[in-house]
Amino acid sequence: MRKPEAGSSRREVLKKIAASSIVILTGGKMKADTFNTRPVPDAGLKGNINHSACRWCYSSIPLEEFCRGAKEIGLKAVDLTGPDEWPVLKKYGLDSSMCNGAEIDISKGWNDRQYHSALVKNYTEMIPLVAKAGYKNLICLSGNRDGKDDETGLRNCIEGLKQVLGLAEKHGVILVMELLNSKVDHPDYICDRTWWGLELVKRAGSENLKLLYDIYHMQIMEGDIIRTIRDNHQYIAHYHTGGVPGRHEPDDSQELYYPAIMRAIVETGFRGYVAQEFVPFREDKLESLRQAVAICDV
């Protein structure tokens, strides 16, 4: 896959991936019944999982309409939102389960010293805003390798993050480093394996730096999802979902069995949020979300 241009949004990159997947899977023609469209019962949620969904996956739906739909489905939060969106979330009684807006770009992160000054400024401004709004998680990104070895990337990340971790501790905000795959979606991203993220968190030595374990990304990079979660759950603050391959609905059209994964998460005692981060193939995006929540509600 061609390397995304600098400044490309996650939504723009994944739209290209989704379009390519449609052509590959259907020969250029998408059938309405390609994916599981069985109706989901209207049963109430069990309450063992705090459900959320990533806003960017539903950007075609106006925020107020999306929040109304999310509330009806039973979501407690919306993921990857910034200060401009928080008042609408609050209007509908929804949390921002993962705040954003301080990062520069997926490819430009803490492992490159040239971005430290801008990132320190951004996070110094954003951390108090997150706390004031009553939220807890703020995403951070390693950035691309750009020729650096693992050790250099780790040292650079720690050097930069330590400049803002004290502020995060003071305000009770957790900086959450996201694990992404470098094989399909984000070529050259350095925090692309669980061991690297764990090493970063352990060396930083702060309870206010943890991992965003993206199940989709880590299935592509290394698999062994359930055992990894059981062995390392204490370092994980947040989870993302997505069907493999293609990052679409987490139903029986893809290779992961999400009920078992969700049960493993619940068994660890996790009380944070699990956010759906898939790109809906179906025309009714909110129905896809409803179905995904039902699948993951164990």
Q: Tens-digit pLDDT profile for the chain (298 aa)?
A: 333 333 344 545 444 434 433 333 333 333 333 333 333 334 489 999 999 999 999 999 999 999 999 999 999 999 999 999 999 999 999 999 999 999 999 999 999 999 999 999 999 999 999 999 999 999 999 999 999 999 999 999 999 999 999 999 999 999 999 999 999 999 999 999 999 999 999 999 999 999 999 999 999 999 999 999 999 999 999 999 999 999 999 999 999 999 999 999 999 999 999 999 999 999 999 999 999 999 999 9
Residue 296 is encoded by which pair of tokens? Answer: 């993951």
71: CB partners within 8 A, 6+ apart = 92, 93, 94
Full-model pTM: 0.85
- Under 8 Å between Cβ of 70 and 288: no
Buried b / exposed e along 222-252 (16+ C-beta atoms within 10 A): eeebbebbeebbebbbbbbbbbbbbbbbbbe
Direct distance between the N- and C-terminal alpha carbons of the chain, in angstroms, rounded to an integer = 36
Distance CA 250, CA 257 (A): 8
Dihedral of alpha carbons 255, 291, 240, 266, sign: negative
CATH number of 46-296: 3.20.20.150
Q: Which sequence spans correspond to the domains of the chain?
A: 46-296
